[in-house]
Amino acid sequence: MANVAVVGTQWGDEGKGKVVDWLSARADVVVRFQGGHNAGHTLVIGGETYKLSLLPSSVVRRGKIGILGNGVVIDVWAFLQEVSEMQARGLHIAPDNLCIAEGAHLILPVHAELDRLREAMRGASKIGTTGRGIGPAYEDKVARRGIRAADLATPDLLARKIGDLLLHHNALRRGLEEKEASASDLLERLLKIAPEILPFVGPAWRTLNAARREGKRLLFEGAQGAALDVDHGTYPFVTSSNALAAQAALGSGVGLGAIDYALGITKSYATRVGEGPFPTEQRNATGRTLGERGDEFGTVTGRKRRCGWFDAVMVRQAAEVGGLDGIALTKLDVLDGMERLSVCVGYEVGGRRLDYLPAAAADQQAARPIYETMEGWSSSTRGARSWSDLPAAAVKYVRYIEELIGAPVVMLSTSPERDDTIVMRDPFQD
Residue 333: which of ligand GDP, Mg ion, ligand IMO, none does it interact with, CB under 5 to 8 A by kind?
A: ligand GDP
Q: Which residue, 27 or 127, has its beta carbon nearer to ligand IMO?
A: 127
Told to check if 23 binds ligand GDP by CB under 6 A, we report: no
Q: Write each residue from 247 to 286 as x if it is in contact with ligand GDP (CB under 6 A), else as -, in one continuous string.
A: ----------------------------------------
> Cβ-closest residue to ligand IMO?
274
Q: How far apart are CA 210 and CA 212, in angstroms?
A: 5
Residue 239: which of ligand IMO, ligand GDP, Mg ion, none does it interact with, CB under 5 to 8 A by kind?
A: ligand IMO
For ligand IMO, the binding residue among 24, 57, 97, 224 (CB under 6 A) is 224
Residue 65's SS3 state is strand
DSSP string of 61-127, one letter each residue: STT-EEEE-TTBEE-HHHHHHHHHHHHHTT---STTTEEEETTPEEP-HHHHHHHHHHHHHHGGG--
Q: Which residue, 103 or 274, has its beta carbon nearer to ligand IMO?
A: 274
Among 175, 172, 165, which Cα is nearest to 141's? 165
- Residue 351 C-beta: closest distance to ligand IMO, Å: 30
Helix 183-197 vs helix 155-175: crossing angle, to nearest 10: 130
Among 12, 65, 5, 1, which Cα is nearest to 267's? 12
List the catalytic residues: 13, 41
Looking only at residues 118 through 147 of this chain, which bind ligand IMO when binding is defined by CB under 6 A? 127-130, 132, 134-135
Q: Are 172 and 125 in contact (CB under 8 A)?
A: no
**Segment contacting ligand GDP (CB under 6 A): 104-112, 188-196, 357-365, 409-417?**
409-417
426 burial (CB, 10 Å; 0-12 / 13-18 / 19+) is middle
**Residues interacting with Mg ion, by CB under 5 A?**
13, 40, 299
Q: Which residue, 51 or 145, has its beta carbon nearer to ligand GDP?
A: 51
Q: Write each residue from 323 to 362 as x if it is in contact with ligand GDP (CB under 6 A), else as -, in one continuous string.
A: -------xx-xx----------------------------
Q: How far apart are CA 204 and CA 102, in angstroms?
A: 7
